Amino acid sequence: MSKTKKLGRPVNKSSVRQIRLAELAVKKANGTLKLGRPIEAGSVRQIRIAELEDKRANGTLKLGRPVNKASVRQVKLRRIARLKAQGIVVKRGRPAGVTKKEVTEKVITEEVTVEVKGI
């Protein structure tokens, strides 16, 4: 029969480090171990996080950049939608490989000018 010898340096159970590690293990087992920086409930960040959570729960959280309804692009898109609803095809950009020039639908090409006040 052979004896097994424990390898490594012996552990002193009454050392300050071992006592601290044992206390941490007990706190971890109980669920009372606190890691990291504590959270301040009244901080500006925590208030903002709570507001965002409320908006997510209500379904009122807006994502992305807000649309400027007075911008030239938005006015142009509204005009195109309005003409499309009337059944008029608006020519946008260059034609894609059109060889024959047949006019089958009424085509409108005009420019839009927008005055933006308050800038």
Write the CB contacts of 55 (distance below 8 Å, at least 6 apart in sequence): 61
How far apart are alpha carbons 81 and 66 in whole angstroms?
Answer: 20
Q: Tens digit of pLDDT for each residue in 15-59?
A: 999 999 999 999 999 999 988 998 899 999 999 999 999 999 999
Distances from the Cα of 34 to the Cα of 5, 45, 109, angstroms: 38, 20, 68
For residue 43, the 8-state DSSP code is S
Q: What is the pLDDT of residue 58?
A: 94
Element (H, E) at 107: strand 107-108
Query: Can you give the residue ranges of every domain in the chain?
Result: 67-92+105-119
Q: What is the pLDDT of residue 26?
A: 96
Write the CB contacts of 74 (distance below 8 Å, at least 6 apart in sequence): 67, 68
pLDDT grade for 94, boundaries at 50, 70 and 90: confident
